[in-house]
Amino acid sequence: MLTNQTPFPLISIVLATYNGAKFLRTQLDSVLQQDYPNIEIIVSDDHSSDDTVAIVESYRQSNSTIQLVCSATNQGYIKNFEQGCKLAKGEYVALCDQDDQWHPEKISKLYAAIGDAALVYANSVLCNEQMEPIGVTIADRVTCKDFSSPLEQAIFCRIYGHAMLIRRAFLEQIFPFPTIIPHDWWIAYSATLHGGIRYIPDQLAWYRQHSNNVFGAVGGKRSTAQKTQAALKEKQIAQERLQLFYTVCPDALTKEKKVLAKLNQYYHGTGFFNNVKRMGLFFQYHQQLLASKKRSAVRQWLFCLKMLVKIV
**Is residue 4's pLDDT more than 60?**
no
Q: Tell me: the pLDDT tens digits for 92-108?
A: 999 999 999 999 999 99
What residue segments make up the domains of the chain, in order of their start? 11-208, 224-306
Q: Tell me: the pLDDT tens digits for 232-279?
A: 678 999 999 999 999 999 999 999 999 999 999 999 999 999 999 999
Tell me if 102 sits within 8 A of 41, measured CB to CB: no
Bridge partner list, 32: none
Q: What are the Cα distances from residue 51, in Å, to 73, 136, 206?
A: 16, 32, 23
Q: How far apart are CA 245 and CA 229, in angstroms?
A: 23
Look at residues 194, 193, 175, 172 and name the one whose alpha carbon lies nearest to residue 183: 175
Q: How far is CA 205 from the centre of its chain?
A: 14
What CATH superfamily classification does 11-208 receive? Answer: Spore Coat Polysaccharide Biosynthesis Protein SpsA; Chain A (3.90.550.10)
> What amino acid occupies position 190?
S
Q: Tell me: the pLDDT tens digits for 195-213?
A: 999 999 999 999 999 776 6
